[in-house]
Amino acid sequence: MDCPFLRNPIDIEAVFIRNVLRRERIFRPRLDVLSFPEDFLFERYRFSSNSIIYLNNLLRPYITNLTHRGRALTSEQTLCIALRFFANGSFLYNIGDAEHYGKATVCRAVRKVTLALKRLLPVMVVFPGHKPVRTIKEEFHRIAGLPNVIGCIDGTQIPITAPAQNEGDYVNRKSFHSINVQIICDAASIITNVEAKWPGSVHDSRIYRECSLSNRFARGEFDGYLLGDRGYPCQPSLLTPYPDPELGPQQRFNVAHCRTRARVEMTLGILKSRFQCLRKLRVTPERACDIIVACVVLHNIAIIRGEQHPAVQINDAEDEHHIPVDVQDGRAIRDLIARNHF
């Protein structure tokens, strides 16, 4: 007996279209990342297999999917997608094509790993560092003879796409949109402090003046000082070079200051070379700040675990378009060090 439904030509056509045009779910083969050679892993993920396992164990509680329905990603797969984005900095669909995932999956994985790494910031980024203060000072002193140094400070501009809100605030003095990031490091290139929340138009000296670390120095919590370029005012806690050094101690102080402070420029070079996503972040400013923090945490883990890093390119020019006024006490300390040590 014929079905009345099938005698209607319109219904027959609807059934045909539904069956033909129904999209089949295609499951592409997933990569077994840890089966690749170490050189392959470094070029694409910036970490060795042992470090990827370490990171997976560290982040698993925060990135594991609660369900296994629909072939949900494992924590290791989620981590490797994010590491490839951080290392490569390409568009999300390019990362997805390389890793055999869809663009939406890549976006979720990057966000999940970014937030997980951000949770580790208070543990992995500590000022003046995990080492004893005396050891930190000795390591800096070995570079060029400057005493009592516990950190080198600098700012760097991380390019971003033009945001929809307050767009003008993010245009820096070089006329591109960015986040101005303050970094402090030790002599081993470990980042001990990061401020990643300021628009590109904000000056380095203002970022330091308004950060919590500046207030802690003012309260006398630290025995030692930072080294900064002429973008900062010379203060008792932050020494800058002489603007017009006289021959003798002042000139030798400037040479030692430059050699020692070069450590923060090298650290920024390593950070940007290791994580190419920092060449330009195509996300909102809030998400860009989160990604920057995540890369800083990964940088410290890589340094501590002895991971190799790519060739370093240092091209950050000193921020001297506006020279802050030095503080008299800062100049006095600088003069004392120059006379007694140089």
Contact between residue 44 and residue 88 where contact means Cβ atoms under 8 Å apart = yes
Please give the DSSP secondary-structure letter assigned to residue 199: E
Angle between helix 285-304 and helix 249-274 axes, rounded to 10 deg:
100
Query: Could you report the per-residue pLDDT of 283-302, keeping only the tens digit for each?
Result: 999 999 999 999 999 999 99
Q: Rounded to 5 degrees, what are φ and ψ at 82? A: -65, -45
Arithmetic mean of pLDDT, 251-256: 95
pLDDT at residue 22, rounded to an integer: 57
pLDDT at residue 28, rounded to an integer: 53
Query: Above 80 in pLDDT, residue 18?
Result: no
pLDDT at residue 323, rounded to an integer: 73
Percent of the chain with pLDDT over 90: 69
pLDDT at residue 139, rounded to an integer: 97
pLDDT at residue 90, rounded to an integer: 77
Structure tokens at 44: 């694409």
Query: How does the average pLDDT of the chain come out, rounded?
Result: 87
Q: Strand 178-185 relative to strand 149-159: parallel, antiparallel, unpaired?
A: antiparallel
Looking at per-residue pLDDT, the higher value among 321 and 229 belongs to 229
Contact between residue 238 and residue 276 where contact means Cβ atoms under 8 Å apart = no
What are the Cα distances from residue 235, in Å, to 47, 152, 208, 262, 328? 39, 14, 12, 19, 8
Q: How far apart are CA 3 and CA 98, in angstroms?
A: 49
- pTM value? 0.87
Query: Could you report the per-residue pLDDT of 169-202, keeping only the tens digit for each?
Result: 999 999 999 999 999 999 999 999 999 999 999 9
pLDDT tier at 36, thresholds 50, 70, 90: confident
User: Please, how many CA atoms are within 13 Å of residue 299, restricted to the half-sphere of its CB?
Assistant: 30
Q: How far apart are CA 77 and CA 75, in angstroms?
A: 5
Compute the residue count for the chain. 342
What are the Cα distances from residue 326, in Å, to 36, 111, 259? 54, 42, 21
DSSP H/E element including 97: helix 92-99
Query: Could you report the per-residue pLDDT of 119-163, keeping only the tens digit for each?
Result: 999 999 999 999 999 999 999 999 999 999 999 999 999 999 999
pLDDT at residue 93, rounded to an integer: 65
Q: How far apart are CA 291 and CA 295, in angstroms?
A: 6
**β partners of residue 157:** 180
Arithmetic mean of pLDDT, 203-225: 94
